[in-house]
Chains A and B, each alone.
Chain A
Amino acid sequence: KAGVTQTPRYLIKTRGQQVTLSCSPISGHRSVSWYQQTPGQGLQFLFEYFSETQRNKGNFPGRFSGRQFSNSRSEMNVSTLELGDSALYLCASSLRDVEETQYFGPGTRLLVL
C-alpha cells in the first residue's frame, strides 16, 4: 500500500511569508504527527492530530499550527517565517496509539531566505 506522502518536497520562502505543508497518511491511519528536523536542534515534535483533534503539542511558538481533515490528511502552517524555520519537516502516521508503528514520510525541506 502507498506510504506517507508529503507535498511539496521542497520549498523556498522569504522571511515574513507564511507556508502550508501537506501530509497524506497511509490509508486507514488516523494519527498524524509532525516533526521539525534541523542540524542544530535535531528532531523535535511539533504536534499530533488524531481524528481531527490535536492530541499533543510540542514546545513551539504559536506561529506553528496544524489541522487534520476528516480523511485524516493533515496540514501544518507556519506564519511569519523566520530564518530559523529552515528545516526538514517530517510527518508520521499510525493507526492510533504509540504501540502501533509510526511510518514517516520523506519530508518537506523548507528554506527561508
Chain B
Amino acid sequence: AQSVTQPDIHITVSEGASLELRCNYSYGATPYLFWYVQSPGQGLQLLLKYFSGDTLVQGIKGFEAEFKRSQSSFNLRKPSVHWSDAAEYFCAVGGMEYGNKLVFGAGTILRVKS
C-alpha cells in the first residue's frame, strides 16, 4: 500500500535562509511524487511533480525536489525563503494503477521569521 511520511510537523526558518522539507514514501512500483502547498483557507497548489527521468525536479516559486530511490525520499528544497512561503506543505504519492488517487503525508507547517 502507498504511504507518505513527513517527519516534521512544524519548521521555522529565517527569511533568506535555505529550506529543506523531508518526505519519505512507501510504494511497491515506480512512484509518482508530488509536492503541494496550502495557504490558510485555500485549496492545494501543485509546486512540482516527479514521474521519471531527471531526479532533480524544478517547480514553481523557486522550489526544487530530489528523488532518491535508494532512500525512498523526495525532499523539497528552496535556497532562500521568503515570508510569503509561510504555509503548509504536503508531499503525496500516486501511481498509474490508482488513477488520480493521491496519498498525502500529514503535512509540514512552515513558519518564516523576519
A and B from one complex: yes
For the complex of A and B, 7 pairs with smallest distance between CB atoms: A104-B43, A43-B104, A104-B44, A56-B99, A55-B99, A56-B101, A98-B94
Besides the contacts A98-B99, A104-B43, what 8 more A-B pairs have beta carbons closer than 8 Å? A35-B104, A43-B104, A56-B98, A56-B100, A92-B100, A94-B100, A103-B46, A105-B43
Chain A 27-64, CB-CB to B under 8 Å as 1, else 0, gives 00001010100000011110010100001101000000
Q: Contact between B43 and A107 (Cβ–Cβ < 8 Å)? A: yes
Taken residue by residue from 89 to 109, chain A's Cβ proximity to chain B (1 for < 8 Å, 0 otherwise) reads as: 010101001110111111100
| CB–CB A33/B49 < 8 A | no
CB distance from A107 to the nearest CB of B (A): 6
Classify the secondary structure of A's interface with B. Answer: strand
Kindly state the interface size class of chain A when it binds its partner.
20 to 34
Contacts of B103 in A (CB 8 A): 45
Known A-B contacts A56-B100, A90-B44; the reply to A42 vs B95 at CB < 8 A is: no
Are B90 and A98 in contact, CB atoms less than 8 angstroms apart? no
Q: Is B63 an interface residue (CB 8 A)?
A: no
